[in-house]
Structure 1
Amino acid sequence: MSQKSLGGAILSGNCPRCREGNIFPVSMISYRRLSDVHNRCSKCQAVLTPEPDFFYGAMYISYAFSVALVVNVLIILNYVFDDPDVWTYVSTVLVVNIILIPVMLRYSKVLYLYAVGKLSYDPNWKNKSPELDE
C-alpha cells in the first residue's frame, strides 16, 4: 500500500501514526455522534485520546475557524452587495456557520491531534511489536 501524505491524512481524518485508521467512528454527515473520537486507532492501536478532555484545546482552533468564516463572509457580502444591511450579515453568517459546523468541529480536532498529540508518523508501524502506546 502506498504511503498517504500528511495533507491527505489530515483531510481524510486518519490516525497521525499510521495514516490509515480513522479518527472518527462515524462520517461527517452523521449529526448524532459528530464529536465522538475513537480511543484507539483501529489499525495501529495508537492512543488517540491521551487523557480525558484532551480535545478541549481544539476549541481554540474551532474559534479561529469561526472568526475566519465571519471575516470572509463579511468581505464577500461587502464586495458582492455593496454594503448590505446588518440583518444580511447576521443571517448569512448564521446559516453558513450552521452548515459548516461538522467540518469545523472535525478539522479542529484533527488539527489539534496532529499539532499537540504526541503521535508521529511511523511508516514501519506494522513491523513493530504489538505494544500499546500509553
Structure 2
Amino acid sequence: MSQPTSSTLALLDLRCPRCHQGKLFSHPAYHLTKFAHMPESCPVCQQAFEPEPGFYFGAMFVSYAFSVAIFAITSVLLYYLAGDPALWVYIVVVGAAATACTPLALRYSRALMLYWFGGVSYRPELAK
C-alpha cells in the first residue's frame, strides 16, 4: 500500500504518526487474542509507540466515548428500523454491537491518543 498523504488518512489506516508507513498493531483486529498487541516501536522509523509508562490509560476515555456512540446509534437504529422492539431486544442487540466493535474501538482510541497527545509530528524524510 502506498504511504498516506495526510495524518488523517494515516490515522484511519492505523499507521505510525511519524512516518505514516509502519503499522501501529502487530495483528489484525479479528485476531481476538492479540488484537491489542502493539510493537514497542515503529518497524520503519523506530518511533516509540508508548511515549511514557501508562500512556494509554487515557485512551479508556476515548474508548468510552466510542462505546456511548455505539450504544446510541444502535438504539436509535433499532427504534426506527425495528419499530421500538421489546427491552430484551435492545439489550441483546446493543450488547452484541458493543462487543463486536470492541477491537476497533480500542485500536482507534489508542491511535487517537498517540496522534493527539504523543508529541509526534509527521516527518516524510524518515519513510523509506
Normalising by structure 1, what TM-score? 0.87
The answer to which of 116-125 and 13-22 deviates more is 116-125
Q: 1:2–1:71: structure 2 CA closer, same or farther, 3 Å change rule?
A: closer
Larger Rg: 1
The answer to which of 12-21 and 30-39 deviates more is 30-39
Moved over 6 A (4+): none
Task: State yes or no: 1:32 paired with 2:13.
Answer: no
Tell me the number of residue pairs that the alignment of Structure 1 and Structure 2 aligns: 127
1:130 equivalent in structure 2: none
Deviations along 1:66-98, one digit per CA (max 9) or x if unpaired, are 000111111111111222111111100111111
* 8 Å contact from structure 2 (residues 44, 127) kept in 1: no
Report % sequence identity. Answer: 35
Structure 1: which 5+ residue stretches go unaligned? 128-134
Deviations along 1:92-114, one digit per CA (max 9) or x if unpaired, are 01111111111111111111111
Deviations along 1:101-130, one digit per CA (max 9) or x if unpaired, are 111111111111111111111112259xxx
Quote the offset at 1:3 in angstroms. Answer: 5.1
1:103 equivalent in structure 2: 104
Q: 1:89–1:64: structure 2 CA closer, same or farther, 3 Å change rule?
A: same
